[in-house]
Amino acid sequence: MPGTTRKRSVKTGLPPGSLIHIGQRHAEKTKIQLCEYDESRFQERESHSLEGVRPLPDGTAVAWIHIDGLHEIPLLEQMGSVFGLHPLILEDILNTEQRPKSEDHGEYLYIVLRLFHEDAGGGLISEQVSIVLGPNWLISIQEKKGSLFDPVRERLRNEKGRLRKAGADYLAHALLDAIVDSYFVVLDKFGEKIETLEETLIDRPSPATLRAIQALKREIIFLRKSVWPLREMLGGLGRSDSPLIREPSVLYFRDVYDHAVQVIDTIETYRDMLSGMLDIYLSSISNRMNEVMKVLTVIATVFMPLTFLAGIYGMNFKYMPELEWRWGYFALWGIMMVIAVFMLIIFRRKKWL
Amino acid sequence: MPGTTRKRSVKTGLPPGSLIHIGQRHAEKTKIQLCEYDESRFQERESHSLEGVRPLPDGTAVAWIHIDGLHEIPLLEQMGSVFGLHPLILEDILNTEQRPKSEDHGEYLYIVLRLFHEDAGGGLISEQVSIVLGPNWLISIQEKKGSLFDPVRERLRNEKGRLRKAGADYLAHALLDAIVDSYFVVLDKFGEKIETLEETLIDRPSPATLRAIQALKREIIFLRKSVWPLREMLGGLGRSDSPLIREPSVLYFRDVYDHAVQVIDTIETYRDMLSGMLDIYLSSISNRMNEVMKVLTVIATVFMPLTFLAGIYGMNFKYMPELEWRWGYFALWGIMMVIAVFMLIIFRRKKWL
Amino acid sequence: MPGTTRKRSVKTGLPPGSLIHIGQRHAEKTKIQLCEYDESRFQERESHSLEGVRPLPDGTAVAWIHIDGLHEIPLLEQMGSVFGLHPLILEDILNTEQRPKSEDHGEYLYIVLRLFHEDAGGGLISEQVSIVLGPNWLISIQEKKGSLFDPVRERLRNEKGRLRKAGADYLAHALLDAIVDSYFVVLDKFGEKIETLEETLIDRPSPATLRAIQALKREIIFLRKSVWPLREMLGGLGRSDSPLIREPSVLYFRDVYDHAVQVIDTIETYRDMLSGMLDIYLSSISNRMNEVMKVLTVIATVFMPLTFLAGIYGMNFKYMPELEWRWGYFALWGIMMVIAVFMLIIFRRKKWL
Amino acid sequence: MPGTTRKRSVKTGLPPGSLIHIGQRHAEKTKIQLCEYDESRFQERESHSLEGVRPLPDGTAVAWIHIDGLHEIPLLEQMGSVFGLHPLILEDILNTEQRPKSEDHGEYLYIVLRLFHEDAGGGLISEQVSIVLGPNWLISIQEKKGSLFDPVRERLRNEKGRLRKAGADYLAHALLDAIVDSYFVVLDKFGEKIETLEETLIDRPSPATLRAIQALKREIIFLRKSVWPLREMLGGLGRSDSPLIREPSVLYFRDVYDHAVQVIDTIETYRDMLSGMLDIYLSSISNRMNEVMKVLTVIATVFMPLTFLAGIYGMNFKYMPELEWRWGYFALWGIMMVIAVFMLIIFRRKKWL
Amino acid sequence: MPGTTRKRSVKTGLPPGSLIHIGQRHAEKTKIQLCEYDESRFQERESHSLEGVRPLPDGTAVAWIHIDGLHEIPLLEQMGSVFGLHPLILEDILNTEQRPKSEDHGEYLYIVLRLFHEDAGGGLISEQVSIVLGPNWLISIQEKKGSLFDPVRERLRNEKGRLRKAGADYLAHALLDAIVDSYFVVLDKFGEKIETLEETLIDRPSPATLRAIQALKREIIFLRKSVWPLREMLGGLGRSDSPLIREPSVLYFRDVYDHAVQVIDTIETYRDMLSGMLDIYLSSISNRMNEVMKVLTVIATVFMPLTFLAGIYGMNFKYMPELEWRWGYFALWGIMMVIAVFMLIIFRRKKWL
């Protein structure tokens, strides 16, 4: 059941700032990827500890620390103390049921949002991504190992362009952009599923179709719950007066905001389409029932009078003159034919046949 | 499927400002129409390159560059560098899934909106129109070749009036006005379709009618998704404090805004009408089922007792006095008639017949 | 089809300010009624041209020019130039699909709103009323000839009271008040129609009832579309800081605003009532179907076992001991009676009879 | 039909400030109750005229004039001139279809709201209460004779507490509090009706239940229409900067506001409950239909094959070996039993029995 | 019936500030728990009277007075006078139908909210918790005896951390956090109930399922009614400029606010899920009806023609040649088989079997 906070209640009674990882525990060891770069230089290394990691002295160089996996709490605590993060932020990073938001803590910005992808079975799963943006450093923390940020890292490696020249705020924008872009992938899959469902709905609707519609609807609700606050958050960043987001980057944040609005538009369109499909489903059930009832009525209306007539001439009255007639039997067949044809003509006129 | 961003995901992983044309590729060569005019002078020429095109020096003359077709990316890049456009704007021009918006970049205003027309099959198709408004120049970019702006060009050629005297902002207004006016054409067609559907609904509703209602509903949603932000955008331009929109033009922008509000009113009315039609459709199915059931019940109620009676006198009991009566058979016919007539009177009273 | 802008598209491609009358052309000649009054004096004359009409010099006297009919465009152009009206206002006056609004043009206020009345067949028709309020003059323009403002003129003639003493702004209020009051007349008729429909719904619902409900619903939507912006507009006038609306009149404008809010409340109540009626209609169809099915089931359940029994004793087996019994036939009748009565008791218990 | 403004249209064409009593005329003579009090003194008298009534000179004493009945217009006019009330206020007092509101006229506050009680038949009726609050006087006007304010008067008589010490604003609060409290009485009755309806819905739903649900729904809408603007108005009073509402009373006005919010919460809950009941009603009709159909199908499915078999052996073919068999008849009975039992087992498995 | 203010009307007619306990009376004696603590010291005692309790002199020590039970009004009055609480606050504490809110009284903040837990039968019950926050004291009042705040007290006893060092505002946050956390417990139970219901809905829907859905829906509405104003209130505290909430605590209040937003998200998701379940329920009833009708129609369509044929050959016409044929009987059986098989093939093709 997506979108519920089933495990949230385990934290009840604990003081705020208690570092307990809420969410599925992932077995792999936490992996840390470190990049340091400025316009002329790019250095990267991979590690399993935070040893030697500290905020860079002021300057043009930018340090990007990316962490995969949340279960090694001491590591997070260490990071918190090195970068001077507030305990509530560490708690939020670990509590993977956060609503997308950004918090301005003066010396750094804390951004949390959700990433969606499909699991093997085609179901929608989500994970939490946290970004802490400092003056010339950026920490990104992902719940599970993923390749989402690889293109950004690739661009850092190769490109001499804007990404290497601009500061940590532009890097933050690049990561947010990558995440919002990943929503389009999910939505494209959605669109395909909806198209398939629509065809099924017209060809052969069944209770399974209804359940599929409902399941998609629920996933859309689940997605929507994340994207609306995301939009709000990105809008806030685009209007932000934090010195951490410098003037030239603001435009780029607004661009991501525009993309988020497009995501929402698409989501709302899908919602409307799914609602319309429910209407079609229900009315197609009614239509089918109508068809069934028409068949029953036609059969009954044709055969009941005929059976009645047959019953009449099956009676054993002593004096029933028709029975004695030479052509009585055949005449009756004729009458029956006339009745049946007459009925069928009436039904044809009523457009029941 | 209109209104979905099916191809949007191809851009995933690319840096912002990547110039990739999203949308159907149109085969024709990009056509550029150049006009330079002031109160006394009007010059126009057509070309396939931007050679010799540059912002005019300050003065009363206005340059209007109209581009049909988006697929020649180098041409757009060239235009971007000549007029000093931000790379994100070039990206937005190419990404034809933009939500209508206007962006104030100080030296120029970027406006993007959608144009709707019907395709051959009566379906609704849309294309993106981008307008970049500078101090004394205006660039308009349309996805496909179209004749929408021809009347404006005609007015420029012939008229000695306001359009020639006023600046680029008034030209922008004229283009926006032409686009919003084109919505009324689309809506008039919509109104006709709805009227036809309504007649069908009353005369001979069928599942096809339902599908037609749903299709119209979806097109209305699609249209609506473009017009609401358009309204917002035009409202913003009418209140704009950008020096690019001069005082005397503001009133004209407000006038276009009023038209957009009228478009929205009409769209909302159509939505309500389509919802009402769905209710009528569903209840008409129920009514028909009722009719069918009544026929079945009348037939069954009349013939079941009669068939039962015929069955009685078809029994082979040794001692059944009625069978011996001289007029038994005819008496039974009489009784049956009475029963049938009695039943029919009851049904007539219940208004089932 | 009310509320649609069917003829709006004829204006596509024309420059703004093009004076084309949109709406039905009314055959009668345009009639102009002129009143000049101050506390001591009241002068009125009727004419077919604007000859001699001009803004009064400053002072206490007020000039009221009332125009019936929109089709004489030169007359309107003349008026525009005499009173210095913006061409867009003249266009709005002629384009009779305006949404109620007020525009402050500094030297004058432009107010446009809709008037509703019933046509001969009980349908709702609307016309546009434009009011231009200057410092000591007021122009009112009505689409069709009507007697709506006669009571105001009568009060001007007879009364020595506030209306003669106060300025043009109070006259504007009097006209707005007359228009909003006319909504109550329309709504009273609506109330009567709804009551009649409700009785029909309980006594003898039919598909025609449903269509009548839908027709009323559509008219309510149509009305609503005009009253909401009217409310907004009146609210704006009540808060206006235009010098044209003087302090003592503001209270009166707020009073009209209160009336408009009452109109909206009534409209919303009617909408809710009509929605409720749809629910009742649908469930009454279901109820009726239930009744029909119960009759069918009772008949079938009673007669099927009996007919089966009759069929049994109509079989021709050589050895069927019951057939030989002296009282077999009568015993069977008895058994059948018992079965029938038993069935009926069961149905009575189930409350199906 | 509650909540409609049926008689409002009689005022059409009259100038604003026309004193015409809209609403039912009540036969009793207008009764005036006068109280003058300060901390040490309490004086009260009853009268049928306003003779000798005038605003008290400044000081600590408070004058409360309570008027029952609206039909004596000269008396109201007299009051208006004694206390210097604006003619629009007198009009609003008489026009008993006012939406709850408060108006700050500088020297006095005008407050109008609605009072609800049940009539003998359990229907909801409402009347209008107007309060005019001056610096040290308060006028309250009720449409009908009622005992609503008796407890307040009683407290004035007996208590040495806050009510006698505080000014007219606190008295206004006491009256508003009494009115809002009376809503709880009405809502409690509503709650009881809803509970009764719910039991009926489960035990024996009928079209009458549906009509009762709809009637309650309409009353709730009617009530709601009064309480939402009441809330708004009380909120405004609690934030008011009028010198007529002194600092220490503000808290009490906010308290009444809180009560109004509770009233709205309860109303919204009832609305949701009534909507849920409609769903239950509709699905219970469908369920019942299902039950009926199952009975019919079981009966038909059991007896049709049996009757067919009986029909077979009632045929008169010359050569039908089974008929000659000694135990044919009994064998057939056996076969029929087996078929019937088999059918019933199938239906039992399908949970239809 | 949760969420209604059934007993609220007993207060009608009483002056504001009347201390009457609304809500169920709980038999146990009021229990008072007193804690005094600062960074180095922790003192607690339990009592049944307020003897010796008074606000501490300014300093770092914090006094927390927790009261279980509301029925001892004199005790509350005493507390009110010791801590200088406004009579309206005492009234609000006793009136246990308060909507969550916070009121800033300058010297203290009054916070009221609701606590939810399940009763023995799985039903949702709620109680009111009031918190009065002074500069260095805090009073918390709970309707019923409960262990909700035990973990906080435990942390006070043991921990040397933030809770002991920070002031009364941080204690208030800790209590609010405990309450909001308890919502997650309730919501987890809800999630389980919904999952169980969903399984039932798919396996064996019944009217009882519908009632269970409606009951859950009502509980969700009930919960929602408390959480929305709670959110608003916590948002207000997070933005509060009261000196009682010191800068370092603000962040913690915002954290609780985030949790409340998560609660609302979950509630809204559950609402959507329950609505979807209603749709599934209704369409599954329709589907079942369809199934029933299909069985009936198949049976009738197969056996009616056969019975008719059997009836034909049961007639007693003198001259019926088929009856004389040697293999007539068997031929008829053959024909009947063919008809039956043919019918079944048709139904199989229509996917009715």
Integer Cα distance of A121 and B312 in angstroms: 65
Residue A138, beta-bridge partner list: A64, A133
Q: What is the mean pLDDT of residues C318-323?
A: 85
> In this predicted model, what pLDDT tens digit does every residue of E190-249 receive, in sequence order?
999 998 888 888 777 777 888 888 888 888 888 888 899 999 999 998 888 888 888 888
E268, E276, E289 ranked by CB distance to A218: nearest: E276
Contacts of E202 (CB under 8 A, 6+ apart): A211
B165 pLDDT exceeds 90? no
Nearest to A95 by CA among A110, A117, A78: A110
Interface test with B, best of A312, A351, A353 (most B CBs within 10 A): A312
Which residues partner with B34 through β-bridges? Answer: B45, B65
A147-205, pLDDT tens digit by residue? Answer: 888 888 888 888 667 788 888 999 999 999 999 988 998 998 899 999 888 888 877 77
What are the tens digits of pLDDT across the range A275-325? 888 888 888 888 888 888 888 889 888 998 999 988 988 888 888 888 888
Size of interface A-E (CB pairs under 8 A): 168
Please check the confidence at residue D225 and state whether its pLDDT lies above 50. yes
Model confidence at B177, pLDDT cuts 50, 70, 90, reads: very high
Chains that touch D (3 or more CB pairs under 8 A): C, E
- Give the separation between CA C272 and CA D218, rounded to whole angstroms: 8
CB pairs under 8 A between A and B: 168
Contact E315, B314 (CB under 8 A): no
Is the CB of C214 less than 8 angstroms away from the CB of B312?
no
pLDDT of residue D198: 86
CA C45 to mean position of chain CA atoms: 35
Whose tokens are 């009402």? That residue is: B276
HSE-up of residue A217 (Cα within 13 Å, Cβ side): 22
Instruction: Return the partners of chain B (3 or more C-beta pairs < 8 Å).
Output: A, C
pLDDT digits (tens, 9 = 90+) for E66-77: 998 887 888 888
Q: How confident is the model at residue E109 (pLDDT cuts 50, 70, 90)?
A: very high
Task: Give helix then strand counts, H and E, for chain D.
Answer: 9, 7
pLDDT at residue E130 tops 90: yes
| Disruptive mutation site among E312, E336, E347 for chain A (greatest number of A CBs within 10 Å) | E312
Provide the whole-model pTM: 0.81
Q: Average pLDDT of D243-266?
A: 89
CB C102 within 8 A of CB C111: yes
Helices (H), chain E: 73-83, 87-94, 150-158, 162-165, 168-203, 207-238, 247-312, 321-324, 328-349
CB contact under 8 A, C296 and D296: yes
Nearest CA-CA distance, residue E206 and chain A, Å = 16
**Cα distance from B350 to chain A (closest Cα, Å)?**
20
Q: Is the pLDDT of residue D77 over 90?
A: no
Helix (H) or strand (E) holding C87: helix C87-94
> Which of the pair, D5 or D124, is modelled with greater confidence?
D124
Cα separation of D269 and D39, whole Å?
43
How far apart, in whole angstroms, are the C-alpha atoms of residue A8 and residue A23? 9
**Smallest CA–CA separation between B222 and chain C, in Å?**
19
Of E207, E221, E313, the CB nearest to D315: E313
Interface size between D and E, measured as CB pairs under 8 A? 169
Kindly state the tokens that stand for B282.
């569903």
> Is the Cβ pair B319, C329 closer than 8 Å?
yes
Chain E: nearest CA to D150, how far in angstroms? 9
Tell which residue, D136, D169, D173, has the closest CA to residue D55. Answer: D136
Please report which helix (H) or strand (E) contains residue A213, including its range.
helix A207-238
Buried b (16+ CB within 10 A) or exposed e, C235-250: eebbebebebbeeebb
Quote the CA–CA distance of B322 and B230 in Å, as a whole number: 88
Q: What integer best gives the mean pLDDT of chain A?
A: 85
Which pLDDT score, from 0 to 100, does residue C1 have? 41
Distance from CA of D304 to the nearest CA of E (A): 6
The least confident of A11-25, A250-264, D69-83 is A11-25
What is d(CA E58, CA A193) in angstroms, rounded to the nearest whole number?
A: 66
Considering only CB atoms, A320 lies closest to which of B15, B91, B329, namely B329
**Read out DSSP for B54-119?**
-PPPSSS-EEEEEEE-S--HHHHHHHHHHHT--HHHHHHHHBTTPPSEEEE-SS-EEEEEEEEEE-
Would you call C310 and B305 a contact, using CB atoms and an 8 Å cutoff?
no
Q: Determine which of A202-216, A261-275, C24-38, C284-298 has the lowest per-residue pLDDT on average.
A: C24-38
Check CB contact under 8 Å for A184 and B326.
no
Option in B185, B265, B284 nearest C9 (CB): B185
Encode burial over A174-206: b for 16+ CB neighbours within 10 A, e otherwise: bbbbbbbbbbbbbbbbbbebbeebbebbeeebe
Contact A44, A34 (CB under 8 A): yes
Residues of C in contact with B261 (CB under 8 A): 99
Which of the four pLDDT bands, split at 50, 70 and 90, describes residue E260? very high
Tokens of C153: 């003129």
Q: How many Cα atoms are found within 13 Å in the side-chain-facing hemisphere of B227?
A: 28
Confidence category of residue D6, pLDDT binned at 50, 70, 90: very low
**Which residue of A252, A257, A316 to mutate against B (max B Cβ within 10 Å)?**
A316
Does residue D62 carry a pLDDT above 80? yes
Interface touch D204/C297, C-beta < 8 Å: no
Q: Tell me whether residues B314 and A315 touch, CB distance under 8 A.
A: yes
Q: Looking at the DSSP assignment, which residues form a beta bridge with residue D45?
A: D34
d(CA E282, CA A283): 12
Q: Which of A214, A314, A320 sits opposite E314 (nearest CB)?
A: A314
What's the pLDDT at B3?
41
Exposure string for E168-190, b = 16+ CB within 10 A, e = fewer: bbbbbbbbbbbbbbbbbbbbbbb
Summary mean pLDDT of chain B: 85
Average of per-residue pLDDT across D304-333: 87
Closest partner residue to E329 (CB to CB) among D178, D276, D320 is D320
**Confidence tier at A3 by pLDDT (50, 70, 90):** very low
C and D: number of Cβ contacts within 8 A = 169
Set of chain B residues whose Cβ sits within 8 Å of the Cβ of C285:
283, 286-287, 290
What is the arithmetic mean of pLDDT over D245-267?
A: 89
Under a CB-based contact definition with an 8 Å cutoff, are residues C36 and C43 in contact?
A: yes
CB-CB contact of E112 with E92 (8 Å): yes
Q: Reply yes or no on whether the pLDDT at C112 is more than 80.
A: yes
Band (A2; pLDDT cuts 50, 70, 90): very low
Contact residues on chain A for B304, CB-CB shorter than 8 A: 304
Determine contact, residues B262/B211, Cβ cutoff 8 Å.
no
CA distance B312 to B317: 10
Q: How much of chain D, in percent, has pLDDT values that exceed 90?
A: 19
Structure tokens at C280: 């009742």
Res E19 pLDDT > 90: no
Question: What's the pLDDT at B24?
Answer: 61
Chains contacting E (3+ CB pairs below 8 angstroms): A, D
Contact: D262, E13; criterion CB under 8 Å: no
What is the structure's pLDDT at A1? Answer: 41
Q: Which residue has the higher pLDDT, C51 or C245?
A: C245
Type and span of the H or E element at C322: helix C321-324
> Shortest CB distance from E258 goes to which of A99, A204, A314?
A99
Dig out the tokens for E53 from the structure.
């309790």
Q: Is the pLDDT assigned to residue B174 strictly greater than 80?
A: yes
**8 Å CB contact of A293 and B296:** yes
Stronger pLDDT, B60 or D286, i.e. the higher one: D286
pLDDT at C291: 85
Output the 3-class SS for B166-232: CCHHHHHHHHHHHHHHHHHHHHHHHHHHHHHHHHHHHHCCCHHHHHHHHHHHHHHHHHHHHHHHHHH
Nearest CB to A5: which of E184, E202, E351? E184
Q: What is the pLDDT of residue B25?
A: 59
* Residue of chain B nearest A286, judged by CA positions: B285
Tell me the average pLDDT across D267-296. 85
| Chain position carrying tokens 């009065």 | E132
Question: C255 to chain D: which residues are within 8 Å by CB?
Answer: 16, 88, 91
- pLDDT band at residue E160 using 50, 70 and 90 as cut-offs: low
- pLDDT tens figures, E286-341: 888 888 888 888 988 899 899 998 898 888 888 888 888 888 888 889 999 999 99
CA proximity to B4, closest of B26, B23, B19: B23
Cβ contact, residue pair A12, E266, below 8 Å: no
pLDDT band at E98 (very low <50, low <70, confident <90, very high): confident
Residues of chain A with Cβ-Cβ distance to B222 below 8 Å are 269
Closest CA to B22 of A149, A262, A253, A271: A262
The beta strands (E) that lie in chain C are given as 31-37, 42-47, 62-68, 101-104, 109-118, 124-133, 137-142
> Nearest CB to E317: which of A207, A282, A328?
A328
Between CA E322 and CA E331 the distance in angstroms is 10
Longest Cα separation, chain A: 122
Q: Please tell me which of the candidates D202, D289, D316 has its beta carbon nearest to residue E314.
A: D316
B-chain CB neighbours of A319 within 8 Å are 326-329
- Is pLDDT above 70 for B4? no
User: To which residue do tokens 């300010």 refer?
Assistant: C17
Pick the residue from chain A with its C-alpha nearest to B99.
Answer: A262
**Phi-psi category of residue C273: left, alpha or beta, with phi > 0 → left and psi -120 to 50 → alpha:** alpha
pLDDT band of residue B292 (cuts 50, 70, 90) is confident
Of the pLDDT bands very low, low, confident and very high (cuts 50, 70, 90), residue E28 is low
Å between E73 CA and nearest CA of chain A: 31
Does residue D114 contact residue D223 with C-beta atoms inside 8 Å? no
pLDDT, average across residues E100-113:
91
- Report whether pLDDT(D170) > 50: yes
ipTM of the complex as predicted: 0.76
CA atoms within 13 A on the CB side of B138: 25
Residue B330 CA to its chain's centroid (Å): 71
Chain D partners within 8 Å of C188 (Cβ) = 5-6, 8-9
Q: What was the pLDDT predicted at A11?
A: 66
User: Which residues from E are below 8 Å from A230, CB to CB?
Assistant: none
pLDDT digits (tens, 9 = 90+) for B55-95: 777 777 899 999 988 878 888 888 888 898 988 888 888 88
